[in-house]
């Protein structure tokens, strides 16, 4: 079931973000955060199935209808965390739950760990910690990122003749989404240009990350979680492919729900969305 959410704008001190609102105004507050290169439409199937919640699904900076960071800026994880805190301030929500998919789940974990007094519950979909590197790889990681920045001006975004063609390309991208899911993401993620359509996303989002957490640092954030947390693991998702996942989860106080489907199981089809909703409805509505 796909409904038409309310489109809202969130004017933060440093940037304006777009968002979609679902549910009753007096529902339990939830901020929903999407994955890398996706947008708020990733919750189009799931959000209508979550009951009694006021869900604000945000387009991260540089994604969807949100503004891009200013010239010279970047897209570090902690900048997203800061954005979400300011979104909560603007909404007047001293405490709220977080619903995050992939990158959105990672940002949710960082926020919940560092500001435990703000986060009531943590609902995660196929995401937990960012890719990590050990300390001796930091030099090469930074060098790769800076080389990418130097050549960014010469790169051009692809142009597609139709939304359907763009959706076909997105279908084969990160997470291998269904064509129906790719269409939903493309409808919010494309803009008209000469010759057709191209992605709204900021080209800087495709650059390598200049500084990554070590595995020990990532573990510290997971270990610091104090709110109730449920993680949906997709049987054919990206998270199950991570080395050391079982060890990490064994040391974390996180409820694990293993479901069939891929990385975008909450968006690929109605059945997958319902399975995720069945996990999160009792969890997010609990006192």
Catalytic residue set: 102
162-167: long-range pairs with CB below 8 Å, 24+: 162/196, 162/197, 163/187, 163/190, 163/197, 166/190, 166/197, 166/199
The structure tokens 């309310």 sit at 6
Cβ atoms 16, 61 nearer than 8 A? no
d(CA 87, CA 17): 9
Cβ atoms 166, 197 nearer than 8 A? yes
């Amino acid at each position: 079931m796909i409904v038409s959410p309310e489109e809202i704008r969130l004017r933060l001190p440093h940037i304006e973000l777009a968002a979609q609102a679902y549910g009753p105004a007096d529902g339990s507050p939830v901020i929903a955060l999407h994955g890398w290169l996706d947008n708020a439409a990733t919750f189009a199937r799931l959000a209508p199935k979550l009951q009694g919640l006021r869900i604000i699904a945000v387009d991260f900076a540089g994604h969807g209808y949100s503004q891009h960071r200013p010239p010279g800026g970047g897209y570090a994880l902690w900048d997203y965390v800061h954005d979400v805190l300011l979104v909560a301030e603007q909404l007047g929500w001293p405490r709220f739950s977080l619903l995050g998919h992939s990158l959105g789940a990672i940002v949710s974990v960082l926020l919940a760990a560092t500001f435990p007094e703000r986060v009531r519950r943590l609902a995660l979909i196929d995401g937990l910690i960012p890719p990590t590197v050990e300390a001796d790889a930091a030099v090469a990681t930074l060098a790769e990122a800076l080389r990418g920045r130097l050549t960014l001006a010469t790169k051009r975004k692809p142009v597609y003749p139709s939304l359907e063609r763009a959706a076909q390309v997105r279908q084969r991208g990160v997470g291998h989404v269904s064509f129906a899911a790719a269409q939903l993401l493309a409808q919010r993620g494309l803009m008209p240009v000469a010759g057709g359509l191209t992605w709204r996303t900021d080209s800087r989002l495709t650059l390598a990350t200049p500084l990554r957490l070590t595995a020990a640092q990532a573990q510290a954030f997971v270990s610091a979680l104090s709110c109730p947390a449920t993680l949906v693991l997709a049987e054919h998702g990206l998270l199950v492919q991570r080395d050391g996942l079982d060890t990490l989860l064994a040391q974390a106080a996180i409820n694990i729900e293993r479901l069939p489907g891929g990385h975008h199981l909450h968006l690929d089809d109605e059945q997958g969305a319902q399975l995720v909703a069945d996990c999160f409805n009792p969890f997010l509505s609990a006192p």
